[in-house]
Amino acid sequence: MLRLEKRPNPSRFWLWFTPVLAVLLTMTAAGLLFAALGSNPFTVIRTIFWEPLAGSNASYFRAQLFIKAAPLILIAVGLAMGFRAGIWNIGAEGQYIMGAVIGASVGLAFYPTENRLIFPLMVAAGAFGGWAWAMIPAILRTRFNTNEILVSLMLVYVAQAILAKASFSFLRNPEGMGFPGSRNFSTYPAARNFDLIERSGLHWGAFTALAVAVAAYVLLTRHGIGFQIRLAGQAPRAARFHGVSPTRLIIFCLGTAGILAGMAGIFEVSGPAGQLTENFATGYGFTAIIVAFLGRLNPLGIVLAGLLMALTYVGGSLAESRLNLPAASIQVFQGMLLFFLLGVDVLTNYRIRLSRSQSKGAGA
């Protein structure tokens, strides 16, 4: 029989090299997939990873990297703090949606007023929307000991229903000739998340994501709360003896993740997306889970992982249009990355042992 035996001292080299190895294994497996689809795997990999950085129109695609990476980094940083404490928030997609819905509702309530305070108020409302949605699994976990994985995940579908209702009903553009979707924020300057540097992709969301990553790194490495988070994840019993309150930690980690996911939602709807529609949610909340683990649950590593995942989004879209690849193949490519990362992580922390099973019973 095969069994896993925990390594007493996992190699620090492999702990940090596994994301690189996972990317290489993903490229290899994806190459076989693309070859089976009838495409040249080297051409596809080059299109995904090289063309957006140094090909034609590289300046445009590099700006798109920041646009795609910003929500992934914001959401992943919030998730990583919970994951490090053993708190598994899988519903960031719902918190992202609710942040967008609440923030957009506040902004559109003032239409067509022009005031500099409208956009900051929208960001605050979006953060509150994400926080409130995250508090549902937090309160149910602390008061009734429910599983936050299931509750947060189920709430994603509730949020999607609310998003559809907003698009077709209470946020629908009255001047949109009956089509679903809110007003376009590009025509409402006071509520628009514009580029701080023209055509750079560096909007307020991108700058906020970088600032949050640095702040989270300081919190995790230099603050008492960061010590409690690390201790709760590595040694739960020792954390209880140290006086760490599980209730406070759950509320803090889920609340922080909700705030950051909600901010990502409002930054996206008021900037790159431009409008709230039924199809606004693009899976950023789920993809951010991959980003968090690819960055080793380290905020600074998450910045690099977010840019890498954004590269697969931008390069994948380029490969779809230029090489006629199905969109599902790019999604499989991204899923492979998490699969190989988790697989290599298991082999880094555990060794495979072969043991013989002994059957019990009387001899003949």
Does the pLDDT of residue 234 top 90, yes or no? no
Rounded Cα–Cα distance for residues 70 and 307 (Å): 8
* Dist CA 130 CA 151 (whole Å): 15
Asked, for residue 44, whether it belongs to a domain, the answer is no
228 part of a folded domain: yes
Residues 125 and 258 in one domain: yes
pLDDT over 50 (residue 364): no
Chain segment 178-229, per-residue pLDDT in tens:
899 999 998 899 999 988 877 777 899 999 999 999 999 999 999 999 999 9
**% of the chain residues with pLDDT over 70:** 98
84: domain range? 70-324
Q: Is the pLDDT of residue 359 over 70?
A: no
Domains: count for the chain? 2
Same domain, 134 and 153: yes
| Residues 302 and 218 placed together within one structural domain of the fold | yes
Tens of pLDDT, residue by residue over 266-298, are 999 999 999 999 989 889 999 999 999 989 999
339 plus 289 within the same structural domain: no
The Cα 152–Cα 154 span in angstroms is 6
Is residue 334 included in any domain, yes or no? yes
298 or 238, higher pLDDT: 298
Q: Other CB atoms closer than 10 Å to residue 364's CB: what's the count?
A: 3
Same domain, 239 and 97: yes
Together in a domain, 255 and 174: yes
Position 55 confidence tier, pLDDT thresholds 50, 70, 90:
confident
**Within this chain, do residues 147 and 211 fall inside the same structural domain, yes or no?**
yes
Question: Model confidence over 110-154: pLDDT tens digits?
Answer: 999 999 999 999 999 999 999 999 999 999 999 999 999 999 999
Q: What is the pTM of this model?
A: 0.91
The residue behind tokens 């590593």 is 301
Q: What's the CA gap between 78 and 124, in Å, rounded?
A: 16
pLDDT at position 243 is 86
Give the per-residue pLDDT at 362: 46
Q: Are residues 116 and 10 part of one domain?
A: no
Q: Does a structural domain hold residue 50?
A: no
Does residue 65 sit within a domain? no
